[in-house]
Amino acid sequence: MSPTGYRTRKSNTERRQNNAEWSPFDDLATEYDAWFDKEGSLIFLIEVKAFKSLLPSLPKPWLEIGVGSGRFAQALGIETGIDPSIKLLEMARRRGVTAFLGGGEQELFDEGSFGTVFSIVTLCFLDSPLDVLKEANRILMPGGKIVLGLVLKESPWGQFYLVKKAQGHRFYKYATFYSGDEVVKLMVQAGFLTEKIISTLFQKPGEAKSVEEPREGYFPDAGFTIIVAGKREVTTT
């Protein structure tokens, strides 16, 4: 039993810890984390504000897939996280997150271990997003939720980052951006039904100057979109 009360698959977590693979973010960890205190500080505040509007309705315990350096987990009170970068995990642990080394598609936890699974600006960096979403479904309790924080391809910020990707940007060259329709289709395939969409960051790249109020619903001109989906119950006849 882990410190947070759910069961981990001990053999899987130990094997992963003892056979750590290199992540491209290991070499970029310090620079990635510094972004939240520098040019990304206002954007981070805007995104956190949008998430906080949802938190009271989300069942616990909480897990973040792709917890990174623990910035969102710390700000939102997410107790547990996983990430493939050992360097980022070290930072997350210093921020008080119970963090495990691993990919989101790996079976690190028992079925039905969590009430809510978060994945915040992580989907675009996954090799197999559908496998990760299916694993999130498996480890969620009946009635559990998945919460995705996304920069959608069609948004001004998505287009901004696509240009950076084409230019070989150190972070975004690893990213694959998805449209809102593509994400919803992936979630349906993984056994989820969309329940709520929150949009924020309507200020365009290079123009963000103030904290915004999030809006409910999908807006293609929003730079950051949060999708909340419920685990679809399997009915037997």
Q: Write the pLDDT tens digit of every residue in 168-225.
A: 988 888 899 999 999 999 999 999 999 999 999 999 999 999 999 999 999 999 999 9
Quick one: pLDDT band at residue 233, thresholds 50, 70, 90? Answer: confident
Phi, psi dihedral angles at 8 (to 5 degrees):
-100, 155
Under DSSP, is residue 229 helix (H, G, I), strand (E, B) or coil? Answer: strand
pLDDT given at position 3:
39
Token pair for 131: 């496998």
Of the listed ranges 20-29, 45-54, 204-213, 220-229, the one predicted with least confidence: 20-29
The pTM score is 0.90
Q: Write the pLDDT tens digit of every residue in 126-182.
A: 999 999 999 999 999 999 999 999 999 999 999 999 999 999 988 888 899 999 999
DSSP string covering 96-120: T-EEEES-TTS--B-TT-EEEEEEE
Give me the chain's average pLDDT, please. Answer: 90
pLDDT given at position 82:
97
Mean pLDDT of 67-96: 96
Mean pLDDT of 23-27: 76
Query: Which tops the pLDDT comparison, 87 or 7?
Result: 87
Under DSSP, is residue 209 helix (H, G, I), strand (E, B) or coil? Answer: coil
Mean pLDDT of 112-134: 96
Quick one: pLDDT band at residue 4, thresholds 50, 70, 90? Answer: very low
Beta bridge partners of 64: 81, 118
On the 0-12 / 13-18 / 19+ scale of CB atoms within 10 A, 218 is middle
**Is 129:123 a contact under the CB 8 Å cutoff?**
yes
What domains sit in the chain, N to C, each tagged with a CATH number? 10-55+81-231 (3.40.50.150)
pLDDT given at position 21:
60
DSSP string covering 53-82: TTGGGSPSSEEEET-TTSHHHHHHT--EEE
pLDDT given at position 234:
63
Judged against a pLDDT cut of 60, whether residue 14 lies above it is answered with no
